Structure 1
Amino acid sequence: MRVFFSKLMRGIESTRTVVLNLVFLLVLTFILVSLLNARPSLPDKVILQLDLNGVVVEQVNRPDFGLSSLTSPEPNQVLVGDVVAALKRAAKDERVLGVRLDLQELSQASLPHLEEIRTAINTFKASGKPVMAYAEHWTQPQYYLAASANQVFLHPMGHIALHGFGVYRNYIADALAKLDVDVHVFRAGKYKSAAAPLIQNEMSAAEKEADAGWLNTMWDVYKQGLFEMRGLDAARLQEVLDHPAKYMREYGADLGKLFVAEHWIDGLMYAEQADAHLLQTAGEGELVAYKDYLRASGQSFMPAGPGSADNWVGVIMGSGQILGGEQPSGTIGSDTMLEQLRIALDDERVKAVVLRLNTPGGSALASETIRHAVEVLRQAGKPVVVSMGNMAASGGYWIASSANEIWASPATLTGSIGVFGIVPNVNRSLKKLGVNTDGVGTTKIAGSMRLDMPLSKEMGDAVQMSVNQIYQQFIQHVADGRNLPIETVQALAQGRVWSGRDALANGLVDKLGGVHDAIDAAAALANLKDFEPVQIDPPKNALDVLVDNLLSETSAMFGVSANEHSIFAGLLQTLQNQMAMSAQMLQMNDPRGVYALSEMGLAE
């Protein structure tokens, strides 16, 4: 009896401890959410500090919280919608006297995202308020935003790292051969190069031709932007960048003098001198970070909830690789996006939908599942407009093909109409180690897809036929959705990547513009004059909301500073790129092993 009561008391004590811990976690969660959502007060006169720290994204990317988060931590994340919202709000706010661009911690941003922020900066400047940019040095993406300021100042020993765009990949066919690893790649499309690094040792002529096409377009867009912002002649800029040593000699290797002479900047100053200049121009004001300003003003990219209007344009965000099933923010899960599309379908207040895509593609099956849901929405009388971000290629374009309209930025990467499958095999490698595989099956193909058994010709032919059939299905969807002849689509397909500008010329997109242009277009298709854009998110629990807020508000615990541009940082980046490619492959979950995925590594 004593033993019974002893166990009973221990059980009660354990239950009490668990309950108390749960209550503590709930209280802690409530406190953290309250702190994150608390509205700070604003001073009467404000200088808005656009302190962009991290990678510019459209959705918070939920990282892996395992051991990999310590060895390869997620960088800080800057939501482009928040930046745009802060600038647009500040343009109308009499308390805001000017903007200071602090961009040195901006580690990565695509050209379309930079264009969106630049447009918002222009909106602010149109209000008659000054914008000043200052730094000790700028990278290429950082300088593109800095150039949009009324006045651009650099540290006397500062540097601007402009060097154009490029695509360089590590090819590991020889390395795999030395390890006796066989990789069978089945692809449809002359330019489909996502798996090329596994079976080649260098870039093919076809790949160089295709990549050069969209790279040149992006570089043209970048140079045109600098011309519009700073009056920099494109030919002159190209000449200076192609022959930097020649022009440095003219100024005694003094980069500051070169930058001033070429009108890349307005002057050389120390930080306190630049700040004094801004206060003299704009007036005395207190520096307020843009995130604090957003919290204080209660503004965001999309309304937190619907207003009085019953005519809604639903906005669904999709970023990351396309995978089957339910997936967290930062990836596009077919079940997750289906739920969002069903909400838009069932809610009578949603009259039209904008699907914002920023994805390299992914599972062919998941892409088709989402495309069909878009088609169902259209058939129900609700127009769908796809707005492409940095990239909406391969599976992303598969989804977009059924929309009423497709909008893209001139520098968007899209197309890549092609598919592939990968079957790796380590049979020879294992044999070298003395590991042999043997057994018996009820059919000739039983066990034929095992990694430790050779791939038979029969199965190889079957996989290639499956890839070819899915490729033809992809082409047919594009032909039907875009109202183009099959022959035209076949010529534009072959896995080739197109810039948004070239995609418009080829009929693959309808208009050039950002997400707000797409929202207006969707409203027009639904004949709406009075409407509200409302973001449609998948259902989230309290923990999801807390994690998303923490990731968008706080710094990564072991993050690498954007300022670390040493050769060692470059080597580390190369290793991280290889790990990222491996992680992407491990994520792939298409049941047929066939993918509409585009792989583009842009060197900026």
Structure 2
Amino acid sequence: MRDFFKFMLASMLGFILIGLIIFFISLGLLIGLMSYVEQQEVLVQENTVIRIDLKDPVPERTPKEDMLSGIATGSFKTILGLNDILSNISDAKEDDNIKGIILNVNIVPTGISTLEEIRKALLDFKESGKFVLCYGEYMTQAGYYIGSVADEVYLHPGGFIDFKGLNANVMFIKGLLDKLDINMQIVRHGKFKSAVEPLMQKEMSPANREQYATFINAIWGSMLDQISLTRGLSVNELNSIADGLQSYDADEALNKGLVDDIVDRPGYRKVLKKKMNVEDLDEINIISLNQYSRVMKTFSLSKDKIAVIYATGSIGSGMGSNKEIGADKFAETIAKVTGDESVKAVVLRVNSPGGDALASDIIWRELDLLNVKKPVIISMGDVAASGGYWISCASDKILANSTTLTGSIGVFGVIPDFGLFMENKLGITYDRVATNEHSGFPAIMRPLDSFEQQVLQNKVEKVYDLFLLRVSNNRDMTEEEVDKIGEGRIWSGVDALEIGLIDAHGGLTASINLAAEIAGLEDYRVIELPVLKDPLVQMFEDMSEGVYTTALKSELGPFYHDYTQIQSVLKWEGVQARLPYQLYID
């Protein structure tokens, strides 16, 4: 009898549990359906103001989304990509119902180069005579950089601006490797190829320190020049404010001219009502940029197309993903564009730190064949370095922002030796038999001998020479001239223009306009490639990746990025044309 009641109780609990699961799934579906319905087409009324929040990282492209993926990731909001942010701001400029834009900026976790493009779009928007207002409670430097484009900047009485100058941090793990008896056997070309320094040193080399100092000073100088123009403060005044940390007090930020007034949220609402010349806030229709993206817009029906191909993430072999550049998938995409007669010009949008050198050259070869038939314009995002610059060398023109990180023309190879680690730390040893002298090459459980090291060095030198050839042919330089600005050194967009690595400063919009001009197009439509993964497929990837990533971020906190960099090292295969291993700028 006792077993019978146990069975009954267990069955009842099972039914209750299943009922609860079905209830919450049904509730999620209902909420998802409601949210999905809410995201349908939006009609813009008179007296409309667009609100732009930049609290999420801005991807290059707006991802595909559907109701199921929203349920899977727990979020139904659309995170607009840079492509749609720029096009929507441009559309708003010409929309008579849009009277202005309000920026809400606090923590803005987006690259400076991406923000530079948004900033330029807002400046162009202001040319229409419409207003741009900015409000913040705690503004990071990136937040203030984008917010300073506004006609008026407002700060909360208890708030501050984190305006202090740029700081570059590099994590070195040589000490950790020594403690673990792991020897990283490194071959490289160039004194500036600092991607491997964290594996072989405990601090920056003089050459590395030089390039980082040059780079962040160029980026900071560009930011100050742009802020100076919109805020009416000299660069010297701005540097003085940063040196004295004078923006950490709201009153001082006002006195120094960083903001126009100090108001709380109710006060800011009064400012907006006065700007719109209304008595009640209800008379103003405030919509988000996400909502405005769902307004029905007119599109060109021209058969002539400009293809924008997005090269985002590390470069590797295989098919890649929405966040990585797979050489096989890109070669296939580029070949299709080459054979598509309706595509008259191509913009390759590069936002990549590089990666596998062979994969980079596979992509370059397909782009070179494309460039024989059609104009190819390179649009560089936050980063287009090393392998990212390699693939940029099959083009007519290269455009970058002043704050883009580019260059890093250099290659390296890394072979870890775990032999002593396995023996001394784990008590595991290895022995072997072989048919030939170097059958186990390259081995990771023993050190390389001098002959094997020389084989790898020769391979690295050969790949570097090929890199120099690709750059020299594209940039109309001798290989010796490229070598002087190469050797793995990184450059800002400012310096890259001076030394001839790029042709002009400009973002995605300028690149598309230039492609149309070279192709002689007046009426055309833009298509975006590669085709993003189906939302349902992406949903399952987001589910597994999202849970795992969230847990890691929660546990590791500020060390999460360090973990991801170490994981990246473990995936390196073959000769690498890759950006420096670890660089955080804040």
Does 2:325 correspond to 1:332?
Answer: yes
Please say if residues 80 and 290 of structure 2, whose CA atoms lie closer than 8 Å, have aligned partners that are also in contact: no
1:13 matched residue in structure 2: none
Of 560, 567, 573, the residue aligned with 1:583 is 567
Matches within 5 A, 1:19-168: 35=37, 38-59=40-61, 78-106=80-108, 108-168=109-169
Aligned to 2:209: 208
Distance change (3 Å), C-alpha of 1:550 and 1:182: closer
Q: Which of residues 285, 293, 306 in structure 2 aligns to 1:313?
A: 306
Name the counterpart of 1:268. Answer: 262
CA distance in structure 1 between the partners assigned to 2:260 and 2:137 by the alignment: 14
Secondary structure at 1:88 match in 2: helix
What one-letter code is carried by the residue in structure 2 that aligns with 1:352? A
How far off its partner does 1:243 sit? Answer: 2.8
Partner of 2:287: 288
Distance 2:43 2:524 in 1: 31
Moved more, 503-512 or 77-86: 77-86
Q: Secondary structure at the match of 2:323?
A: coil
| Change over 3 Å in CA distance of 1:95–1:544 after alignment to 2 | farther
Q: CA deviation at 1:593?
A: 4.2
TM-score (norm 2): 0.86
Does structure 1 conserve the Cα–Cα contact (< 8 Å) formed by 2:62 and 2:82?
Answer: no
Residues 558, 118 of structure 1: CA spacing in aligned structure 2 closer, same or farther, 3 A cutoff?
A: same
**CA RMSD, 1 decimal:** 3.2
Distance (Å, rounded) in 2 between the aligned partners of 1:40 and 1:218? 39
Aligned partner of 1:418 among 410, 416, 425 = 410
Quote how far apart the aligned CAs of 1:447 are: 2.1
Are the counterparts in 1 of residues 322 and 532 from structure 2 also a CA contact under 8 Å?
A: no
Q: CA deviation at 1:114?
A: 1.0
Aligned amino acid, residue 223 of structure 2: Y
With normalisation by structure 1, the TM-score equals 0.83
Matched residue type, 1:291: N
Asked if residue 241 in structure 1 is aligned to residue 242 in structure 2, the reply is yes
Report the Cα offset of residue 264 of structure 1: 0.1
Residue 370 of structure 1 is matched in structure 2 by 363
> 1:389, 1:412 within 8 Å by CA — same for their partners in 2?
yes
Partner in structure 1 of residue 197 of structure 2: 196
Taking structure 1 as reference, are residues 547 and 185 closer, same or farther at Cα in structure 2, changes over 3 Å only?
A: same
- How far the C-alpha of 1:226 sits from its partner, in A, is 0.8
In the other structure, the counterpart of 1:427 is 419
Which residue number corresponds to residue 603 of structure 1? 585
Letter of the structure 1 residue corresponding to residue 437 of structure 2: K
Q: Does 1:224 align with 2:225?
A: yes
Q: Residue type of the partner of 1:139?
A: T
> Which region of structure 1 is more displaced relative to structure 2, 288-297 or 384-393?
288-297
Tell me if the contact between 1:76 and 1:556 (Cα under 8 Å) persists in the aligned partners.
no
Taking a change above 3 Å as real, the CA distance of residues 337 and 268 of structure 1, as seen in their structure-2 partners, is: same
SS at 1:471's partner residue? helix
Distance 1:158 1:598, change over 3 A: same
Q: Secondary structure at the residue paired with 1:296? A: coil
Q: Which amino acid aligns with 2:99?
A: L
Residues 54-95 of structure 1 deviation map (CA, whole Å, 9 limit, x = unaligned): 112214689xxxxxxx9xx9x995522222222222222222
User: Aligned AA for 1:350?
Assistant: V
CA distance in 2 between counterparts of 1:422 and 1:483 reads: 32
Indicate the larger mover: 458-467 or 441-450: 441-450
Please give the secondary structure, in 2, of the residue aligned with 1:54: coil
Per-residue CA deviations over 1:318-353 (Å, capped at 9, x if unaligned) read 111111110111111111211221221111110111
Query: Contact 1:53–1:105 (CA<8 Å) still a contact in 2?
Result: yes
Say whether the 8 Å CA contact 2:63–2:81 is kept in structure 1. no
Q: Structure 2 counterpart of 1:54, which letter? A: D
Q: Quick check: 2:399–2:507 contact (8 Å CA) kept in 1? A: yes
Amino acid at match of 1:455: L
Unaligned runs of 5+ in 2: 1-21, 65-71, 278-282
Q: Is contact 2:196-2:580 (8 Å) kept?
A: no
Asked if structure 2 preserves the Cα contact closer than 8 Å seen for 1:186 and 1:463, the reply is yes
Given that residues 158 and 256 in structure 1 are in contact (C-alpha distance below 8 angstroms), is that contact kept between their aligned partners in structure 2?
Answer: yes
Change (3 A) 1:83 1:461: same
Checking the alignment, whether the CA contact within 8 Å between 1:190 and 1:495 is kept in structure 2 is yes
SS in 2 for 1:132: strand
Percent identity, please.
Answer: 30
What is the aligned partner in structure 1 of residue 481 from structure 2? Answer: 488
Residues in 2 aligned to 1:388 and 1:453: alpha-carbon distance in whole angstroms: 41
1:572 to 557, 564, 567: 557
Structure 2 partner of 1:7:
none
Aligned to 2:5: none
**Alpha-carbon distance between aligned partners in 2 of 1:541 and 1:76, rounded to the nearest angstrom:** 16
Distance 2:144 2:533 in 1: 37
Aligned to 1:392: 384
Note closer, same or farther for the CA distance 1:34–1:134 as it changes in structure 2 (3 Å cut).
Answer: closer
Q: d(CA) in 2 for partners of 1:318 and 1:220?
A: 28
1:357 corresponds to 2:358 = no
